[in-house]
Chain A
Amino acid sequence: MSEKMNQALAFLREKYGCPAGEIVNGNAGPELVLPDGKKIRLLPWRVERRFVELKKIIDGKTLEDVSTFRFASFSAGGDPVKTAARELDLAAYLADSPIRRIFAVRSGDAACNILARFANGMSASVECGSRLPAGADPMDRHEIIARRGVASDRTVDTQVPQSSIYEWTDKGLTTFTDVDTELFGLPNDQIWIVRAAFAVLMKPDLGPVWNQAAADMEKYAAAVVKSDADNKPVTL
């Protein structure tokens, strides 16, 4: 795991006075190793600021009576089933309810479309794909539809993520979206891993919750594969 990420974590720990921990590569993704040897699965998307704000919008009742989550995530390579499991975890986190049923259709290892239902009755659709050309930035969209209001991380009348800076030079167009003053310089995906580790160190109660969520994600992935294979919904 990147030395830079652990340096950044050490910076935050020193600044805010929190206990020790080290970010390492786990089998299924980044983990935080505590001084007693315990390992916590890190769920960086749960601390990503756009999702923190969407969660606030739901929990603070800016949206009332959420009905449906419409999520999409496309990448250059990767496993769409794993991507789907991550998106389902995000939806379950925002819904504050476990997933009870999954129905999935897959197209080999290229794409995966899912309908899910939560214990609280809410519904979700998740679209995933892995066939963006190499080097392309990931594309995603998260929309939450409620009786009162719709919230999204994409602005109205756009299809693709926006950037903070667009730079045109003789080398073409370069874009930048910097999101964190304290961790400026780290790539955004690493920033969220560091922030996730920091969140666990600041709130140790998160550890067991996240490990349980990580175990649930494995169940979601298995359910996606089984549902597609059997052409039947899978109840969890």
Chain B
Amino acid sequence: MKPVKIAMMGMTHGHTRKYYQTLIENQKLDWVASCAADERAKEVYELYKTGVPCYLDPEKMLAEHPDIEAIVLASANEKHFEEMKFCAERGIHILSMKIPTFDMAEYDKMIELVDKAGIVCQIELEMHYNPVVKRLQQEIASGKLGKLLSIQATNITLSPVWAFPWQGSPEASYGKRVPLAPGDKRFRGGALCDHPHIFDLIRWLTGSDYDTVFAQVAPNLRKELEVEDMLMAVGKLKDGTAFLFDPSWSRLEERLKVPAPGWEVFPKRMEVNLTITGEKGMIQCDCFGPNVYHNGAPNDRYTVQYTYFDEWVGLIDEFVDCIRNHKQPKINLKWHRQTIACMNACYTSVESGVPAKI
């Protein structure tokens, strides 16, 4: 199979660096160029010494590499629409970060652009390629647990805002400045916007969709932020399954400008755990564990060193397969719309103080 000529764009998203190894090693890809959003993003990119040239102007990148077939849009949420338009107009396949946009009108325009261009647009929800999640899906699909009754899930992390400041900006993260609630000085765009995974996974595990959700924010752990960093959501799916989600930035961090060892203050910087109750049994699942542990340099703190972390390998494999074999990715714009709608409904509920219908 001819390798897909691929590029990256933006280079400001927290997941950017996670692609480097896969893009270099996978023989089905030829990573030819990158295009940073600004000088700062280019400087950080160059720290990783990938050997792949980095531009600051997408037009120039394409002029130098007219054979680019696909682009990973590794940028702030507010940039996604213009970047998708740029790609769609040129027939370039898209791998989008996990939040295409929270503006549902803009979201529908994205669907239209992609459909019209006939390109692949895969949304990066890497948990689907996690081997523990694969097993979880298998066990549930086997019927051993019977009908699912309830799911609790965490998607809790440190806050990336110090390294990726756009994640603390209501406009750059949520797309506009919307107060969380009357009298609340904070705005939409924080931890919730960073954590769509559990909102997506539950749909896969149950085969059902959201009915209602009730969400509440807590006092922020980081007083400087103008977006929420602590919140919870409860609700019901259409099939009656009850859920409770924690998508908070509840793990504190060193305020590093570039992610590096010693970033975490709490030993485990990122957790996706699920507790699933069915009519015939129950599962507890840690998608990122077990690992190895140390209390060495740089801060002599007890630290989880992640050990099994190859989600991006499977994600890129699917993307290439879809491009070369004209397939629709599992997580495509149309599928993902309901997940974004539910996340928006969480904000609606926070604002209104009552459950929101999705």
Interface residues of A (CB under 8 A from B): 15-17, 49-50, 53-54, 56-57, 61-64, 146, 148-156, 161-170, 176-182, 184
Please give the distance in Å from B39's CB to the nearest CB on chain A: 30
**How near does chain B come to A33, taking the closest CB pair, in angstroms?**
24
Which of A169, A177, A178 is the one whose CB lies under 8 Å from B134? Answer: A178
Complex: A182 Cα to B314 Cα, angstroms: 7
Report the Cα distance A162→B285, complex, angstroms: 11
- Known contacts A181-B134, A182-B313: does B281 contact A151 (CB below 8 Å)? no
Chain A residue at minimum C-beta to C-beta distance from B282: A168
Question: Could you show 24 A-B contacts with beta carbons less than 8 Å apart?
Answer: A16-B26, A53-B305, A53-B307, A57-B305, A63-B297, A146-B296, A148-B297, A148-B300, A149-B296, A151-B305, A153-B293, A154-B293, A155-B290, A156-B302, A162-B286, A163-B290, A165-B135, A165-B285, A167-B281, A167-B282, A177-B132, A178-B132, A181-B129, A181-B134
Closest residue of B by beta carbon distance from A16: B27
* Chain A: minimal CB distance from B315 (Å): 9
B135 contacts A178, C-beta separation under 8 Å: yes
Closest 4 CB pairs of A and B: A149-B296, A169-B281, A178-B131, A151-B294
Residues of B within 8 A of A (CB-CB), count: 41
A164 engages B132 (CB within 8 Å): yes
| Residues in chain B within 8 A of chain A (CB atoms) | 25-28, 129-132, 134-136, 139, 144-145, 261, 280-287, 289-297, 300, 302, 305, 307-308, 310-311, 313-314
Closest partner residue, chain B, to A161 (CB atom)? B290
**Cβ B283 vs Cβ A166 within 8 A:** yes
Cβ–Cβ < 8 Å partners of B300 in chain A:
148-149
Cα distance A170–B261 in the bound complex, in angstroms: 44
Is B132 in contact with A165, judged by CB distance below 8 angstroms?
yes
Q: Which residues of A contact B302 (CB under 8 A)?
A: 156
Nearest CB in chain A to that of B140: its residue? A167
Closest Cβ of chain B to A188, distance in Å, is: 10
Contact of A64 among B139, B281, B297, B307 (CB under 8 A): B297
With both chains docked as a complex, state the minimum distance between the C-beta of B22 and any C-beta of chain A, in angstroms: 11
Contacting pair B296 A153 (CB below 8 A): no
List chain A residues, Cβ under 8 A from B27.
15-17
- Which residues in B have their C-beta under 8 angstroms from that of A184? 131, 134-135
Q: Which residue of B lies closest to A169 (CB)?
A: B281
Given A54-B292, A162-B290, A178-B134: A149 touches B281 (CB 8 Å cut-off): no
Across the interface, B135 reaches (CB within 8 A) one of A16, A146, A154, A176, namely: A176
Beta-carbon contact of B297 and A165 below 8 Å: no
Q: Which residues of A contact B25 (CB under 8 A)?
A: 16
A181-B261 in contact (CB<8A): no
Q: How far is the CB of A9 from chain B (nearest CB, A)?
A: 15
Tell which of B130, B292, B311 touches A50, judged by Cβ atoms closer than 8 Å.
B292
Q: Whole-angstrom distance from the CB of B211 to the nearest CB of chain A?
A: 27
Q: Check if B295 sits within 8 Å of A155, measured CB to CB.
A: no
> Which partner residue on chain B sits nearest A17 by CB separation?
B27
Report whether A15 and B131 are in contact in the complex, using a CB–CB cutoff of 8 Å: no
